[in-house]
Amino acid sequence: MAFPYMEAVVGFMILMYIFETYLDKRQHAALKLPTLPKPLEGLISQEKFEKSRAYSLDKSHFHFVHEFVTILMDSAILFYGVLPWFWKKSGEFVVLVGLNAENEILHTLAFLAGVMIWSQITDLPFSLYSTFVIEARHGFNKQTIWLFFRDLFKGICLAVILGPPIVSAIIFIVQKGGPYLAIYLWGFMFVLSIVMMTVYPILIAPLFNKFTPLPEGVLRHKIEELASSLKFPLKKLFVVDGSTRSSHSNAYMYGFFKNKRIVLYDTLIQQCKNDEEIVAVIAHELGHWKLNHTMYSFIAVQILTFLQFGGYTLVRNSSDLFRSFGFDTQPVLIGLIIFQHTVIPLQHLVSFALNLVSRSFEFQADGFAKKLGYSSSLRAGLVKLQEENLSAMNTDPWYSAYHYSHPPLVERLAALDEQDKKED
């Protein structure tokens, strides 16, 4: 008797949903606490705390509903054989428009088009509610309904332009790969990731946001001076109009080798009145670069991608696996989807491990900024970002350890205090 892969996958999905809901309930209880954590007393006003608490609880309630609907739909799709039915219907559609359904690439693209339409329809109510009810209620949403749908349309157009050649290449590689399939797939995804990281900020991101050079002035001079002192090859320094969509703030850097760029959200500049606070946040980001965190993360992703493709090659010809999910044939894309579902337990473990590493990197980057003399400015900047983004002040330690790639503010301030004690 064949192993019931599909039943096992659905069962594990439900178990993970129960476990994560338990963590969500713990976090919800922490969010309801009526007082600030002691380390934040005197740093964050009661007014901001109350606003943060209301915002976090609103998002928490929404999350419970969203996750419940998601697990219901995902389990039903697998358990009731919606995927094989949809695969069959997409083949019939290919024939209907006068194309050859035996061509796996055409069949797969028709299947993906249907999946994209379905996901857009099912996700849209949640996206609209999150943006125009929750984010708007708490003063974050700045975009109009027109801008929302314009961004949605642009995203769909990009998927239609970029998706088919990428999917076609993957199917071709799997069909012709032979014994070195995992290496070929990894090589293709490696090149694709490099191309996308190069193309995205230059061609794709400007479709959604306006990037303008940071004007000459004290702030620009301080950032360039900091980058120069660290030998960071800063080529361009941009401000992005994040305020057209949201009042959340951020800063990031990107680029390869000697062509690095730093991007500041205009909301960050508006919220941090003190230039030193912004420079301290940039010092933290440059710490990631100086300590090779970006490179380590990239290498880790490449290793995991290769291992995933290696695992896929071991099961891609398993007729029992496909039959368990209701398929008589073994299409490449369906094999990849099924494989992703069967390794869910490993994915959760890997995600947890990567979060632990990421949190460690954040502490190290904070320490790096502190060594540069930005200790007090970094503290002030972190507190300001926490306040203005209305981030959760009280966090459950279990929930935080499992979900957060960045440590909570309380832990980051405590780590900076600990370093101060060691230096004293």
Extents of the domains making up the chain: 5-138+305-416, 211-271
Flag the least confident range among 60-69, 195-204, 320-329. Answer: 195-204
- Consult the annotation and say whether 284 binds a ligand: yes
Superfamily of domain 211-271: Metalloproteases ("zincins"), catalytic domain (3.30.2010.10)
Q: Residue 184 corresponds to which tokens in the numbers above?
A: 């070929």
What pLDDT score does 107 carry?
94
- Consult the annotation and say whether 362 binds a ligand: yes
What pLDDT score does 217 carry?
87
5 has a pLDDT exceeding 60: yes
CA angle centred on 365, ends 362 and 369, rounded to 5°: 140
What pLDDT score does 257 carry?
67
Higher pLDDT, 40 or 70: 70
Q: Which of 277, 285, 388, 411 is catalytic?
A: 285
What pLDDT score does 73 carry?
95
Q: What is the mean pLDDT of residues 45-70?
A: 94
Q: What is the mean pLDDT of residues 345-359?
A: 88
Amino acid of residue 288: H
Q: What's the pLDDT band for 190 if we cut at 50, 70, 90?
A: very high
Whether residue 264 contacts residue 214, with contact meaning beta carbons closer than 8 Å, is answered with yes
What's the DSSP call for residue 243? G
Q: Distance between CA atoms of 364 and 55, rounded to whole angstroms?
A: 30
Rounded to two decimals, the pTM is 0.87
418 has a pLDDT exceeding 80: no
What pLDDT score does 385 carry?
85
- pLDDT tens digits, one per residue of 209-267: 888 988 888 889 999 999 899 988 888 888 888 888 877 777 888 777 677 888 888 88
- Consult the annotation and say whether 107 binds a ligand: no
Q: What is the mean pLDDT of residues 102-125?
A: 93
What's the DSSP call for residue 244? G
Q: Distance between CA atoms of 126 and 185, rounded to whole angstroms?
A: 34
Is 285 assigned a catalytic role?
yes
What pLDDT score does 128 carry?
96
302 has a pLDDT exceeding 80: yes
Q: Which of 135, 266, 276, 366 is catalytic?
A: 366
Is 366 assigned a catalytic role?
yes
Q: How buried is 192 (Cβ within 10 angstroms: 0-12 exposed, 13-18 middle, 19+ buried)?
A: middle
Whether residue 380 contacts residue 413, with contact meaning beta carbons closer than 8 Å, is answered with no
> How would you classify residue 372: left for phi > 0, otherwise alpha for psi between -120 and 50, otherwise beta?
alpha
Q: How confident is the prediction for the chain on average, in pLDDT?
A: 89
The H or E element spanning position 82 is: helix 82-96
Q: Distance between CA atoms of 254 and 289, rounded to whole angstroms?
A: 10
CA angle centred on 282, ends 281 and 283, rounded to 5°: 90
